[in-house]
Amino acid sequence: MKLSTTERNIYALMLVFIVLVSVTLVIPNFISPQRQVLKETIRTEEQLEMLQIEEQLDETFSSQESIHNLYEEKGFLVAILALGLLLGGLALFVGFILSVIFIISKLRGKEMLKPLRDLEPVRWGVPDIFKIAILFFTAFYLVNILELICRQAGILAETSSKNLLMIFSTSFLDIAAFCFIAYFVIIKYRQGWAALGLSIKNWLRGVFLGITGYVTILPLFLLIVFLITRVSDYFGYQPPVHPLVNIFFKEGNPFILGGVIVLAVLVAPVIEEIVFRGFIYSALKKRTGVTLAIIVTSALFALLHMSIFSFLPIFFLGIVLAYFYEKTNLLISSITLHVIHNSLLISMILLVRGIIT
């Protein structure tokens, strides 16, 4: 579908805005020596804080007496930790068996995942991905300009204020991404939510496949994380602390913590699956085919998280999520798998926070 003159002018203006902001604010701020020194200082402080957390954990579990004291003070958390370790070990064992079964089935030419519904051909294409990107980065830069104004005005002096703005900006961008895609799919191309893989048909089976799928990939995922950690240690590379870790260990407001949990566990998986698997992957598959579309979508998904250390694990996770959507034609399976992954990460952070504080 060709753009009208007005639409072309609007997209051109937004693209100029993105370039101007990048040239005048983002790039100079990113490469300036003062910025680099500040980032290195903050990173060093965060790494020192993580070392203190690790030392506290080592001290907590260093002897039977310290474990006994922990049990007396926080018996409920210790019980949850023990249950989590037990279930984690069981999940690894079951996941290894399921992985072997999956590999054998693939070698025999059998497919374990079956389509749960018929998927209608999508009408949007690769050019629409670029249009969505222009719209999103325009919204992203507008939010960042607002944040910069708040910082200059001294509104973000306290940690809670910064975290509250983070919740606001993240929520706004998630809603914006959802609205942009809804406009293209429903209004512009007159297709329903089913074109994005959103359907209640066989949804319960899709949830079950998402759960079993995560258990299946868990051993390989943890192996990738372990190998990357070993390689990082060998080269002396200390990965930056994840922003969520800082929030959960420094934020004391329960409402802000609750908002962050909802965003990380529910909102982010749903929006990201709609964007990457439902919209971007479907458009790329029309142009490049399944394999290349999965690779490109997974790479974009990993780049979104802006971490060299976690690129490969997230890239692998993206491949699995796209594969599940391709085979089931139902986005709920990918959403379920994504929700479980984020939930486990947040649960681990909260458990550690509860034990050492």
For residues 117-146, b (16+ Cβ closer than 10 Å) or e, as one string?
bebeebbbeeebbebbebbbbbbbbbbeee
What's the CA gap between 220 and 316, in Å, rounded?
Answer: 9
Cβ atoms 153, 165 nearer than 8 A: no
Phi-psi region of 172 (alpha: psi -120 to 50; beta: other; left: phi over 0): alpha
Q: Which pLDDT score is estimated for 43?
A: 56
What DSSP assignment string belongs to 54-112? HHHHHHHTSSHHHHHHHHHHSHHHHHHHHHHHHHHHHHHHHHHHHHHHHHHHHHTT--S
| Residues of the chain by 3-state class (helix, strand, coil), percent to 5 | 80, 0, 20
For residues 292-322, b (16+ Cβ closer than 10 Å) or e, as one string?
ebbbbbbebbbeeeeeebbeebbbbbbbbbb
Q: Which pLDDT score is estimated for 51?
A: 64
Q: Measure the CA dihedral 22/26/32/38, to 10°.
A: -170
Cβ atoms 50, 245 nearer than 8 A: yes
Residue among 319, 282, 284 nearest 299 (CA)? 319
| CA 313 to centroid of chain Cα atoms | 11
C-alpha gyration radius of the chain? 22
- Per-residue pLDDT 10s for the chain (357 aa) are 677 888 889 999 999 999 888 877 665 555 555 555 545 555 555 556 666 666 666 666 666 667 667 767 777 787 888 888 899 999 999 999 999 999 999 888 888 888 888 888 999 999 999 999 999 999 998 988 887 787 776 665 555 567 777 888 888 999 999 999 999 999 999 999 999 999 988 899 999 999 999 999 999 999 999 999 888 888 877 777 777 777 887 777 788 888 889 999 999 999 999 999 999 999 999 999 999 999 999 999 999 887 788 899 999 999 999 999 999 999 999 999 999 999 999 998 888 888 777
Using CA atoms, how far residue 9 sits from 5, 6, 76, 122, 257, in Å, is: 6, 5, 60, 26, 42
Q: Which pLDDT score is estimated for 343?
A: 94
Q: Which pLDDT score is estimated for 21?
A: 85
Phi-psi region of 306 (alpha: psi -120 to 50; beta: other; left: phi over 0): left
What's the CA gap between 305 and 296, in Å, rounded?
Answer: 15
Residue among 344, 297, 331 nearest 210 (CA)? 331
Give the chain's count of helices (H) and strands (E): 15, 0
Q: Which pLDDT score is estimated for 237?
A: 76
User: Three-state DSSP class for 116?
Assistant: coil
Q: Which pLDDT score is estimated for 120?
A: 84
Spatial neighbors of 159 by CB under 8 A, at least 6 apart, are: 250, 251
What's the CA gap between 123 and 18, in Å, rounded?
Answer: 27
